[in-house]
Amino acid sequence: MKRIVVGTRKSPLALTQTNWVLDQLKKHHPDLEIGMEQIVTKGDRILDVTLSKVGGKGLFTKELEQAMYDGTVDFAVHSLKDMPNEMPEGLMIVAITHREDPRDVLISRGGVLFADLPLGAKVGTSSLRRAAQLRAARPDLEIVSLRGNINTRLAKLEEQELDAIVLAAAGLERMGWSDKITERLSPELCIPAVGQGALAIECRSKDADVRELLSVLEDPATRRIITAERTVLGKLNGGCQIPIGAFAELEGDELRLTGIVGSADGAILLRETATGHDPVELGNLIATRLIEQGAGAILAQVREELSH
């Protein structure tokens, strides 16, 4: 193949991530010509409603996947945390890249740490998962809905007179903005989103040539980690808009996996940790234990609230 076309979202972070992927590809395939299609997704268009209320899976992926079906692009680059668990027919995640720092971070006015935020501090996030865990740790906090790309959210910290905002470390690092981070939140306080920090490269299953080209981007260790996390999400039938988190790490050859399910108000936070070698078995074990603790009822309640 001499030419290939990538589909990407238009946000500065999405373009930065896609260009990084293209740089990696060109190292392996120096003669390859790569075109780029910038596509606006539903999640990018609807910015005045919290993500959880917009509803539906694939808010940031569907239009890119449609472009692959239509043949206008050959592959797409996604933040893995935006990928629904069930893959559309005829498409596949051909490669998962090496994972950057998966943690959430606090960016606060005046460099105040999370534990030292004033009573009743206003903290901005659009994520029910983050909100549930932050409220569980600090019931006094006022969680303020925050949408938009990284640049917009950073601006809103000042504009809306928030005390702090919570973002993913990986996005800030990819943009070269690590200096803006006040504190990296430990997974003990805030379990990250499933797949946070890794990129997913998606293409048509039938395109053997494209699959072979893109396979150089695969990081096998990250694939194992992400498989464990996504298994939890799949068994709990969760999307990225539901308060579910899962975080796996490799300890030698063994996986250590923690999963959480919370009520949106943070009053209930279920947490399970286990170790094992098989990522699917481990993910199913954690999800089953969370269900035994009552995760199903909590998630049903959240879905009910979001549907109104």
Residue-wise pLDDT for 115-151, tens only, equals: 999 999 999 998 889 999 999 999 999 999 987 888 8
- The set of catalytic residues is 82
Which tens digits make up the pLDDT trace of 180-231? 999 999 999 999 999 999 999 999 999 999 999 999 999 999 999 999 999 9
Determine which of 7-11, 52-56, 233-237 has the lowest per-residue pLDDT on average.
Answer: 52-56
- pLDDT-derived band at 300 (thresholds 50, 70, 90) equals confident
Q: Is the pLDDT score of 43 beyond 80?
A: no
Which pLDDT band holds residue 99 (cuts at 50, 70, 90)? very high
Domains and CATH numbers, the chain: 3-97+197-218 (3.40.190.10), 104-184 (3.40.190.10), 229-307 (3.30.160.40)
pLDDT of residue 204: 97
Asked if 232 contacts 286 with a C-beta cutoff of 8 angstroms, the reply is yes
Confidence of residue 237 (pLDDT cuts 50, 70, 90): confident
> Taking the C-alpha atoms of 32, 216, 257 and 76 in order, what is their torsion angle to the nearest 10 degrees?
20
Instruction: Please state, rounded to an integer, the average pLDDT across all residues of the chain.
Output: 91
CA distance 93 to 115: 39
pLDDT-above-90 percentage for the chain? 75
End-to-end CA distance of the chain: 50
The predicted model gives 141-164 an average pLDDT of 90
What is the rounded CA–CA span in Å between residue 258 and residue 200? 22
Tokens representing 262 are 């919370």
Q: Quote the pLDDT of residue 55.
A: 55
Q: What is the SS3 assignment for 106?
A: strand
Q: Give the E-state strand segments of 66-140 in sequence order.
A: 75-79, 91-96, 104-108, 122-124
- The pLDDT, as a whole number, for residue 56 is 53
Q: Which residue has the higher pLDDT, 255 or 10?
A: 255
Please determine, for residue 238, whether its predicted confidence score (pLDDT) is greater than 80: no
Return the closest-CA partner of residue 75 out of 36, 42, 44, 17: 36
Separation CA 228–CA 283 (nearest Å): 5
Quote the pLDDT of residue 193. 94
